[in-house]
Structure formats: structure tokens, C-alpha cells
Amino acid sequence: MHTEFLIIGQGISGTFLSWYLQRANRSFMVIDNGDKHSSSRIAAGIINPVTGRRIVKTWMIEELMPIALDRYELLGNELNISAISQKNIIDFFTSPQMLLAFRDRMIEDNSYLSGPADENNYRDSFNYDFSYGEISPCYAVNLPELLPAWRKLLLSNHQLVEEEFIFGELRLSNKITYNNIIAEKIIFCDGIHSGDNIYFKNLPFAFNKGEALIIEAEGLTADKVFKKAVNLVPLKDNLFWVGSSYEWNFNHKDPTEQFKIKTLQQLKSWLNVPFKLIDHLASVRPATIERRPFAGVHPHYPNVAILNGMGTKGCSLAPYFAEQLVNQLLNNIPVIPEANISRFSRILK
């Protein structure tokens, strides 16, 4: 089997990379084992224009957000699903200091921040002492439908091999050879597995583990994301995603009883409506020390490329940098320097 591109992984990065190549009428094959615990399949799918305790703008958000919104809508229309929806964040302050910090930041720059018209608006559903602010616009990507729908299309087009990628089976010369597949180039979109890849293991990954709960709560509105120590993200059918943790030192990638107990206690003190636990999830994110993605062609192996390291921002970063990488692969237009792996040419040699 001959193809131009072999893509390893069908998370959010591999999905957009293959979609752009499809639109460019280029041939490709995707290898993915369908791991239900991969970071893309566990993620809440939120695009938030501000970040951190200082409530600063997310890196490149002015460029990333409009492209993300447009591309998700295009892809959703092709798949006949609603791929993205606006769900602003209601941020309940946990202390007077956080309230003051939000108000101070709003005075400096209110591009995405606003105060409440009525501080008592959510008291029927939530317990809170120090008011709240709203972050707008924010978007929720429908990952539970988007990734399977694209996967189904790939399967119907015979463009997906559902199996574990075995690195030892890869042969690299003038062509890429993997079992019965011969390709011009290979692109790794395989999350944490790139950390064991001989071509990219020296990149400064900083893997971190996240856990989340799925709860059912009939009394909660599903038109916003709510935040107070944890995020409460509406899914469908009265289900909500609750999380997430950020663990830099962990012994395993499985859910922990400690997270479940702590988060349930937080919910019991925060929610005024009954809820029940449905599921407990965990995954390891392919984050990076610089908090910038890894995209581009290997500086020493021109038929090897990567699109990875999205961390917690994959839903906003993937549409933009997948397109950047496709432009490099097809038109020799380099990925922007901040994300281009050419900046690590020395350690990748």
C-alpha cells in the first residue's frame, strides 16, 4: 500500500492534520489503536481566552480562537454534527483576593471579562460567598462526537488502521516503510508516546496527569461552564465533566481514590442540587516545559515530522498548528518559530 503521509495517532492533532490533507486531496493513512484513555478523549474540550491566577490572555488567542471556531464549524458541517458551541465560563471566586484580582484585571483589559448583572443569579444551584465573574467568549468542543465521527469516516474511506503502532516495525530510508505501508513522510501525533520515540524523545516534554469525574445533575443549566476550584463542563443528557487535576509527579496513569474523594467533597459543598457519580477518568497530557507545541519537520530527517505537545490547550492549538504543518509539508512554508521544532535542532541531532 502506497501513500504520501503516514499519521500516527487520531487525537485532536491527528484528526485536524488528516482533515487538512483530505481537503488538499493528498493521500494518507492513519494508525490509531482507539485508546479510550488518551488525553484527547478524556479532555473537556474548553477553549478559554484567559489563563492562570493572573487572568492573562492565553498565548496567541486572538489568532487561535477565530481559526478554531471556523475550522470546527467546517468540520462539524462535513460530519453532520455540532462540533463547537459557545459556553462562557462563570468563575466563582474562592476568596476576596481573587475577586479583587479579577476586578483589577477587568479595569486593565476587559476584552474577555465582565462582572455579574446580578450576583445572586446562581444561588439556587451553587453555594458561593465572593460573587463571580464571566469569561466570554469561551467555547466547548464536542470531542465525544467529533473524534468518533471523523474516525468512522476514515474507516469508511479505508484510511485508518485500527491497531497499536509498534515503533520497532518502522523502517526509515528514502521512504517510510511500516508493515505493508510505504509512505513519503511519517507524522507523529501520538501524544505521550512521542516521549519514547528515538526521533523526538529528546524534546523537552513535561508530561502531567489529569483526572476528571463524570456526574449526572438534572438541576444544573447546560449553557455555561462553571468554575470554582474545579471546572464543571456540560456534556449531554444532564451529564457534566468535573476536573481536572494537574499532577507533575505520578506513579501510574490510572484514576486515584484520592482525587475522587476530594472532588466529591468539593462538589457537595458547592452544589445545591443532587448529583450522582457516573464515571472517573484519568489520562496523561503531552505537555511541554515551554508550554508551546511541537510542530514541524525533523531538522535532520526530512521525511519525519511531529504535531504534538498541546498540553491542556489542544482544542485551540490543534486547528491552527495542523494547518501550519500542512503548509510546511505541502508548500515549504515553515511553522512559526515559537512552535517549530527546528528550535531544538541541536538536541535532536
Q: Tell me if 176 sits within 8 A of 31, measured CB to CB.
A: no
Give residue 54's pLDDT: 78
pLDDT tens digit sequence for 276-306: 999 999 999 999 999 999 999 999 999 999 9
Enter the DSSP assignment of 175.
S
How far apart CA 8 and CA 14 sit, in angstroms, is: 7
Question: 140: part of which helix (H) or strand (E)?
Answer: strand 139-141
Q: What is the mean pLDDT of residues 195-214?
A: 94
Q: What is the mean pLDDT of residues 34-52?
A: 89
Give residue 123's pLDDT: 94
Check whether 53 has a pLDDT greater than 80: no
Architecture of the domain whose range is 2-44+144-205+289-348: 3-Layer(bba) Sandwich (3.50)
**Mean pLDDT over all residues of the chain?**
94
Give residue 32's pLDDT: 96
Write out the three cell numbers for 198.
528515538
pLDDT tens digit sequence for 2-34: 999 999 999 999 999 999 999 999 999 999 998
CATH of the domain spanning 208-285, picked from 3.40.50.1820, 3.40.50.300, 2.60.40.420, 3.30.9.10: 3.30.9.10
| CA-to-CA separations, 40 to 14, 26, 52, 282, in angstroms, rounded | 10, 25, 21, 11
Give residue 39's pLDDT: 87
> Taking Cα atoms as reference points, which of 239, 204, 199 lies closest to residue 220?
239
pLDDT tens digit sequence for 263-279: 999 999 999 999 999 99
Give residue 162's pLDDT: 95
**Are 2-44+144-205+289-348 and 208-285 the same fold in CATH?**
no
User: Which amino acid makes up residue 30?
Assistant: V
State the helix-helix crossing angle for 12-23 and 314-331, rounded to 10 degrees.
40
Check whether 254 has a pLDDT greater than 80: yes
User: Which amino acid makes up residue 26?
Assistant: R
Give residue 156's pLDDT: 97
